[in-house]
Amino acid sequence: MGFWWRPLSVLASVLLVALILWAGSGWIAALGFLAGVQAFVMLRRLWQEFRLARWLENPDEVDPPDATGTWGDIFYRLQKLQRRQRTSRSELTSALEQFEHAAQAVPDGMVILNRSEQIEWCNPASRKYMGLDCERDRGQFIRYLLRQAHFLEFLDAADYSQRLVCKSPINRELTLSVQLVPFGSAQKLLVARDITDLERVDAMRRDFIANVSHELRTPLTVVGGFVETLADAQELPATETKRYFDLMLDHTRRMQHLLDDLLVLSRLEGDENSLKDEVIHVHDLARSLKSEAESLSRGRHQVTLTLDSAASLKGGLQEIRSALSNLVSNAVRYTPEGGEITLAWRERNGEGIFSVTDTGEGIAAEHIPRLTERFYRVDRSRSRETGGTGLGLAIVKHVLTRHGARLDIQSTPGKGSTFSVIFPAQRVLQPREPASEKDGDNVIPFRERGQAAG
Ligand code: ADP
């Protein structure tokens, strides 16, 4: 009613004036007055329409014309409408920008396909995984761009509950999991996720289970075979029986060692097993490792200990002991009789280096990068003969990684190897100042040498 009130009251006033004129001056004067008003209204209307048309040509840049009366009302309403549109347009633009940013940040490749499987949109990750380019490939049929047979079959099947696992068409090193998600009116969202790491972990898990089963099967078969023989045999000479029991004991020990190493590895991998920060007196540890080497060697090697640093270490004593003990045991096991084994502790540029050097069979260069893999052995039968499980260096690597330390392997086939554990400076503790030397542990003579008994 607000809008109509003004024009109706103006009309009523004009008619009233016309009536008064008619009554006072006759009908010609009244008609003349009405014609004048009509002409004025028409001219004013033409003028306002002209202003409105001029404004509508460029409504975003020019303010709407101002006017009074009905036209003022119309312009005011148009301006309100224009403001509301501007606000919703800027809200829409910022929502679109946010979507665009989110789509750019998504690590998965995403492609929107229309009902004819033409590309409508794709994000930057789809270039990395599928070689698509949003600008270049918009409107292209996806089938013409990705032509692998299994991908085309996957598209044809249109089974949205299934995922396709395939190699990336532009990088064979990448494994992708591709999924189709229907949405809107017959559109589809194609999502490609990089599952290379997952696949690798899965392959490692499968290999690991196969390896453990294989490692356990041989000794179990041997022990089972002897038990059957002993059960079936009526009477066996005592020497023969003893030989069987010795062999069974050997194989049982092998299984025991394997399970022990597996338990150590799983304990190291467990999250709850937080790293201890004990003070490790390396000299004591080195002496005890030297004794261990001598007892393993049983006089077949010459064992030497060189202590060129008085520093201690910070870390888990049991873990470091088990890692270094593995290196010592390997040196003894892979060094023929008469060889030399040297344990050494020194510092270089603040780092602590514990090395185990042997004059054994050495390792060819191509094997060195793989030695810390689980169950990787250069010579499987040699490892088994000497009681190896193939897990020793994997344990070493785990322990060192937890301590921020690294393993360096230098080896020459036929001459020998040096396995050096390099501890970072923050794990190396310098001996205390003279005031606390009464402690005893810190006053250590440099360069101590010892030889294997026998
Ligand atoms: P294993 O129980 O078989 O010794 P490790 O993980 O300790 O397993 O070592 C992996 C492989 O590395 C061994 O099988 C062996 O071939 C090689 N290796 C390790 N230490 C030495 C060494 N000191 N000299 C020669 N080869 C070694």
CATH topology classification for 199-269: Helix Hairpins (1.10.287)
Radius of gyration of the chain measured on its C-alpha atoms: 44
Strand ranges of the sheet holding 187-194, from the earlier edge strand across to the other edge: 119-122, 109-113, 187-194, 175-183, 163-167
Q: How far is the CA of 145 from the centre of ligand 1 (A)?
A: 49
Residue 12 neighbours by CB under 8 Å, 6+ apart: none
Give per-residue pLDDT as tens, 118-176. Answer: 999 999 999 999 999 988 999 999 999 998 899 999 999 988 899 999 999 999 999 99
Lining ligand 1 with CB less than 6 A are: 326, 330-331, 334, 358, 360-361, 363, 371, 376-379, 383, 388-394, 417
Going from N- to C-terminal start, the domains of the chain cover 5-101, 106-194, 199-269, 278-451
How far apart are alpha carbons 312 and 285 in whole angstroms? Answer: 10
The tokens describing 148, both together, are: 């692998």
Looking at ligand 1, which atom is closest to the CA of residue 393?
Answer: 6
Residue pair 305/294 in contact by the 8 Å Cβ criterion:
no
Q: How far is the CA of 3 from the centre of ligand 1 (A)?
A: 97
Burial 316-355 (b: 16+ CB within 10 A, else e): beebbbbbbbbbbbbbbbbbeeebbbbbbbebeeebbbbb
CATH topology classification for 106-194: Beta-Lactamase (3.30.450)
CATH topology classification for 278-451: Heat Shock Protein 90 (3.30.565)
| Alpha carbon nearest to ligand 1 atom 3, residue | 390
Q: How far is the CA of 375 from the centre of ligand 1 (A)?
A: 10
| pLDDT < 70 positions in the chain | 1-3, 271-273, 433-454
Q: How far is the CA of 447 from the centre of ligand 1 (A)?
A: 28
Q: Helix 238-269 to helix 392-402 angle, to the nearest 10 degrees?
A: 20
pLDDT for 272 equals 56
Residue to mutate, 254, 329, 334, 368, ligand 1, most ligand atoms under 8 Å from C-beta: 334
Dihedral of the CA atoms 43, 48, 54, 58 (nearest 10)?
Answer: -170
Give per-residue pLDDT as tens, 40-75. Answer: 989 988 988 888 888 888 877 777 777 777 778 888
Looking at ligand 1, which atom is closest to the CA of residue 361?
Answer: 25
Q: Taking the CB of residue 289, how many other CB atoms lie within 10 A of it?
A: 22
pLDDT for 83 equals 87
How far apart are alpha carbons 291 and 311 in whole angstroms? Answer: 21
CA angle 51, 53, 56 (to 5 degrees): 110
Distances (CA, A) of 250 to 92, 239, 260, 334: 76, 16, 15, 19
The tokens describing 200, both together, are: 């690798």
Q: How far is the CA of 391 from the centre of ligand 1 (A)?
A: 9
> Whole-prediction pTM value?
0.66
Q: How far is the CA of 352 from the centre of ligand 1 (A)?
A: 23
